[in-house]
Amino acid sequence: MTHVPGEDFGAHPLCADEDPDLHFPVSEDVSVPLIREQVERAKAVCEQCPLMATCRENAINRGSEGIWGATTTAERAEIRRERGLSGKRHRQVEPLTARDVSAGAGRVLDDLEQVRGERLPLLRKQVRQALYQARRRGDGADQQAAAVMRLVQPEIDWLNNEQDAPGEVAA
């Protein structure tokens, strides 16, 4: 269920019935087919929601990450620039925590395994080790997330290449 802390829209948003990960892709780089499809699916949910405009305005004012009101983070940043709003957010967004990174890494690995149709125990072990080492070094959550992405990005790239070339046999 998607929830905006401290916000009550007065009605039930359609995204509340969706997997929250749908509206928070690992990237908003729509040149990547899997991500583009996820962003398009999230926007399609938003476009059917009676709260779309309210949701979008709240996200513009907060500087939220993810898909809100059928807009991406970059699209809302452009709206903020067009409106002459400062780069500062009106409300402080909670900082990313190590727990957020661990949970996100688990969801990414679950999704990769679902798409692949098989478990990825070696990759899971590598991610656990990278997070452990990053925490021991005292790395912040951003550095921990970057370490996870360095490990999972090759798998994501491989899956994207597989989808781009259906029917081709890898050499």
- For residue range 24-78, list pLDDT tens digits in order: 888 777 788 888 899 999 999 999 988 888 889 888 887 778 899 999 988 998 9
Total domains in the chain come to 2
Determine the Cα–Cα distance for residues 121 and 123; give it in Å rounded to an integer: 6
Dihedrals phi, psi of 71, to nearest 5 degrees: -130, 150
Task: Classify 89 in phi/psi space as left (phi over 0), alpha (psi -120 to 50) or beta.
Answer: beta
Q: Which two tokens stand for residue 61?
A: 């004012």
Same domain membership, residue 70 and residue 128? no
Assigned domain for 171 exists: no
Assigned domain for 4 exists: no
Range of the domain at 121: 98-164
In this predicted structure, the answer to whether residue 2 has a pLDDT above a threshold of 90 is: no
**31: three-class secondary structure by DSSP:** coil
Percent of the chain with pLDDT over 90: 19
Same domain membership, residue 123 and residue 78? no
Q: Let me know if 25 is exposed, middle or buried by CB neighbors in 10 A (0-12, 13-18, 19+).
A: buried
Residue 23: closest CA among 70, 60, 90: 70
Assigned domain for 43 exists: yes
In this predicted structure, the answer to whether residue 140 has a pLDDT above a threshold of 70 is: yes
Assigned domain for 1 exists: no
Same domain membership, residue 158 and residue 118? yes
Count CA atoms closer than 13 A to 61's CA, side-chain side: 10
Same domain membership, residue 72 and residue 40? yes
Determine the Cα–Cα distance for residues 62 and 39; give it in Å rounded to an integer: 20
Assigned domain for 59 exists: yes
Record the pTM: 0.48
